[in-house]
Structure 1
């Protein structure tokens, strides 16, 4: 009986090994994810270029949204609202197949929150990077007014008609990218333009039935001079987000630490 038992056991082990090897060979490679990246205030799609390049090199699909009134878009600021931004991102997602990983930075956090409320079934993961994260009925202005460590408010210069907000030239780099090298700091300076003001005052509506069921992640920027870390943590706690990362960066880690941002996003894709 003993030789029989040993032979049977050996055969079972070999069979399992063969099945495992067969499964490994027939498993298809993981399909690429689609990332939809939303920039923040006083910025434009250029801000994502380093991360976009790395994600594409790793076989991922990337869509970078240009918000109205930013970059090359010349929509008059008097006509812009947070809904204008939301609708631009919703349209970008509608043009993609399947689900997306939606990423928002700074003001973009307000936008992606509104998008998640509108089309929760299209979002696989929702990622905030140094971003505003509103509760129901909150505006960016309301959240920013509670930020005791931000240096942004003191640097703002409203236009005469109150339709745009600028930043004092001597404060742009210290507030946004004090930790970046000369090349990325030049990118920020060269691409700077005044920010439409109305969307800052628009509240976001969120519900448990829609926004509440989207899988959420937050990437803290621990040296942030625009959206303070204390405010980031308060917003995360209020939203009940438990999946967080922390980068030792200023407000724009996708420029100062693109490798680390890409690694976080690729980890989520897997």
Structure 2
């Protein structure tokens, strides 16, 4: 008799537990997180494809932004500024109900900072991945010039009109995706385009009341040849970001270790 009562009790408890879990899953699916992913320089939305697919499988909504002058967009480089990039992302956010988790890689860190200053109420968290993380008054160029360990500066080739930058072809893989598969390396080379130069020189103006009100997370890349780990650490310290994760990858972890990036973003979203 006692054994029967014990079994019935266990069954009842299991039913309650499974019902609670099912209810929690339903709540998560009913209120999915929305990620907005912003690529970096010399890249385009394709770099997020694997991460996007992983997050969508987990029930998240994912938007990848194509910055003007990148991917298929043919905007003239002389028309592009950091503010143009910012407004492009803000337009994407305006189509989303509620807040988003805004993720920026490399140059994208400058962009998402500018976006947070303008529309902080639309952002739940800012996530910087191997990204430039400015304080008010800094430009990407300001930060990059302090990066003695970066291999990018010596590989830059400005155009004759100074409106774009190329990266020496022989250095592209080493700088951006040294740890990627052959297929991924080929993908990066096939999608390469010269980078508009003007946004590199545009400083951001950030305030404590707007930008400072948004929660921030930084994901360090420990084998980075573009934005060195030393600069990443320096920017994190200067900006006072407390929530820091790290990946033992090159500058483009979403290409070399997309599952690890997806897992971290899911964890950060909780």
| In the alignment, structure 1 residue 29 sits paired with structure 2 residue 27 | yes
User: Could you tell me how far apart the structure 1 residues matched to 2:259 and 2:41 are?
Assistant: 22
Per-residue deviation, 1:59: 1.0
| In the alignment, structure 1 residue 199 sits paired with structure 2 residue 231 | no
TM-score by length of 1: 0.91
Q: State the partner residue of 2:62.
A: 62
| In the alignment, structure 1 residue 179 sits paired with structure 2 residue 179 | yes
Q: What is the number of equivalent residue pairs in this alignment?
A: 256
Per-residue deviation, 1:269: 2.2
User: Could you tell me how far apart the structure 2 residues matched to 1:47 and 1:24 are?
Assistant: 34
Q: State the partner residue of 1:43.
A: 43
SS at match of 1:29: helix
Cα deviation, 1:8-30, whole Å, max 9, x if unaligned, reads: xxxxxxxxx79x76766655421
Q: What 5-or-longer segments of structure 1 have no aligned partner? A: 1-16
User: Could you tell me how far apart the structure 2 residues matched to 1:202 and 1:114 are?
Assistant: 11
User: Could you tell me how far apart the structure 2 residues matched to 1:216 and 1:254 are?
Assistant: 19
Q: What 5-or-longer segments of structure 2 have no aligned partner? A: 1-12
SS at match of 1:262: helix
Q: State the partner residue of 2:259.
A: 259
Per-residue deviation, 1:246: 0.6
Counterpart mapping for 1:99-114 below 5 A = 99-114=99-114
User: Could you tell me how far apart the structure 2 residues matched to 1:24 and 1:256 are?
Assistant: 34
TM-score by length of 2: 0.91
Structure whose CA Rg is larger: 1
Q: State the partner residue of 1:213.
A: 213
